[in-house]
């Protein structure tokens, strides 16, 4: 839950004069997103999300994110749009923060995904990859393998306060991943954070994707590995093969995985688990006193890593050939 920055009525009124949406009829802080402050805004033009980008989002990346949403929507993907000001810009400023007005997107995220949901997410992910092919901007993945060792070093031996032996295990795991990490796989724009929070459904059908603030250029199959981690494990840490099958089959309805991608899937899943284990661990160890955000459990991904270590091939994730 978020809302870090409060907005005064005068600065909101002044911010809105640059847009053609009318004055604020209602503005409510919403408890979504942990990186940014989000407000639900109502004007005579409709409902919008007003996002204030907090310090974890680099301002120079914002044109990539906002442009991507508008590019994907233009390719038929259902996602929020950055509303343009009268002068054509989409990035404004309020309360000392970069800010954008985003269209309100209907849909409800699921807390307990079914195989049906996983199949739809696979298909939507592949459509995202296809729609991103001709996007003009690019952004390096700051949280790919070269970014992991610095995170492990930031946690250091304090990792052992979270679970005994974790710091040594992270070190060994990183060495293995660095040695085995694939290169030359098909790349493109990936979402990189397509967790259940960021996928909307209406009446059991996928209705849209949100939160593009980790999007970047990287191996497309790595994005699928992130989704397999995020959607196909049960609460007890077990991998649900039916969900994995549904997700991979859903993906391949739109884009078939190459032999190189299929072969790399286990190591990509292992790396994806490592990425979320490390960022959650660092967040966990750095909760400021009085923080209003409860950090997510890093050990959830340590348990997932346990499954990946035993996987022998993409068949273990549900790829059927």
- Chain residues that interact with its own copies, rule: CB under 8 A: 1, 3, 6, 8-9, 12, 23-32, 40, 42, 47, 104-108, 110-112, 200, 202-203, 290, 292, 294
- CA 308 from chain centre, in angstroms, equals 21
Exposure b/e, 44-58, CB count within 10 A at least 16 = b: eeeebbbbbbbeebe
Minimum CB–partner distance for residue 182 and its own copies (Å): 37
Nearer to its own copies, 26 or 153 (CB): 26
The gap between the terminal CA atoms of the chain, to the nearest Å, is: 42
Q: Give 256-279 as a DSSP string.
A: PPPHHHHHHHHHHHHHHHHHHHHH
Nearer to its own copies, 1 or 180 (CB): 1
Nearer to its own copies, 5 or 144 (CB): 5
Nearer to its own copies, 7 or 221 (CB): 7
Minimum CB–partner distance for residue 204 and its own copies (Å): 10
Minimum CB–partner distance for residue 110 and its own copies (Å): 6
Minimum CB–partner distance for residue 301 and its own copies (Å): 21
Whether 284 and 295 have beta carbons less than 8 Å apart is answered as yes
Whether 319 and 265 have beta carbons less than 8 Å apart is answered as yes
The answer for 280, left when phi > 0, alpha when psi is -120 to 50, beta otherwise, is alpha
Nearer to its own copies, 184 or 290 (CB): 290
Minimum CB–partner distance for residue 252 and its own copies (Å): 27
Instruction: Kindly report the number of other CB atoms within 10 A of residue 230's CB atom.
Output: 23
Residue 134: burial class (beta carbons within 10 Å; 0-12, 13-18, 19+): exposed
Helix (H, G, I), strand (E, B) or coil at 226: helix
Helix (H, G, I), strand (E, B) or coil at 151: helix
Minimum CB–partner distance for residue 51 and its own copies (Å): 13
Considering only CA atoms, which of 38, 116, 73 is closest in space to residue 209?
Answer: 73
Minimum CB–partner distance for residue 291 and its own copies (Å): 9
Minimum CB–partner distance for residue 241 and its own copies (Å): 24
Nearer to its own copies, 21 or 105 (CB): 105
User: Which value, in Å, is the radius of gyration of the alpha carbons in the chain?
Assistant: 20
Nearer to its own copies, 43 or 217 (CB): 43
Nearer to its own copies, 3 or 152 (CB): 3
């Amino acid at each position: 839950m978020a809302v870090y920055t409060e907005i005064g009525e005068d600065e909101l009124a002044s911010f809105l004069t640059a847009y053609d949406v009318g004055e604020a009829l209602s503005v409510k802080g919403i408890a979504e997103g942990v990186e940014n402050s989000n407000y639900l805004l109502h004007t005579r033009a409709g409902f919008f999300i007003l996002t204030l980008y907090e310090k974890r989002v680099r301002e120079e990346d914002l044109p990539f994110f906002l442009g991507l949403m508008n590019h994907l929507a233009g390719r038929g993907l259902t996602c929020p749009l950055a509303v343009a000001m009268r002068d054509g810009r989409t990035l404004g400023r309020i309360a000392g923060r970069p800010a954008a007005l985003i269209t309100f997107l209907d849909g409800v995220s699921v807390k307990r995904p079914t195989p049906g949901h996983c199949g739809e997410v696979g298909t939507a992910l592949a459509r995202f990859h296809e729609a991103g092919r001709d996007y003009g901007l690019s952004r390096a993945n700051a949280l790919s393998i070269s970014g992991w060792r610095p995170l492990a070093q930031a946690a250091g031996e304090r990792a052992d306060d979270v679970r005994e032996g974790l710091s040594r295990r992270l070190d060994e795991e990183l060495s293995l991943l660095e040695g085995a990490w694939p290169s030359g796989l098909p790349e493109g724009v990936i979402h990189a954070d397509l967790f259940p929070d960021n996928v909307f459904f209406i009446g059991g059908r996928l209705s849209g994707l949100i939160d593009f603030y980790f999007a970047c250029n990287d191996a497309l199959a790595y994005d699928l590995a992130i989704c397999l981690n995020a959607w196909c494990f049960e609460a007890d840490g077990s991998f649900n093969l039916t969900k994995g099958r549904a997700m991979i089959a859903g993906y391949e309805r739109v884009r078939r995985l190459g032999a190189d991608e299929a072969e790399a899937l286990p190591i990509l899943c292992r790396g994806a688990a490592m990425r979320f284990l490390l960022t959650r661990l660092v967040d966990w160890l750095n909760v400021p006193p009085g923080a209003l955000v409860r950090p997510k459990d890093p050990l959830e991904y340590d348990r997932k890593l346990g499954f990946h270590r035993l996987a022998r091939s993409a068949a273990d994730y549900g790829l059927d050939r």
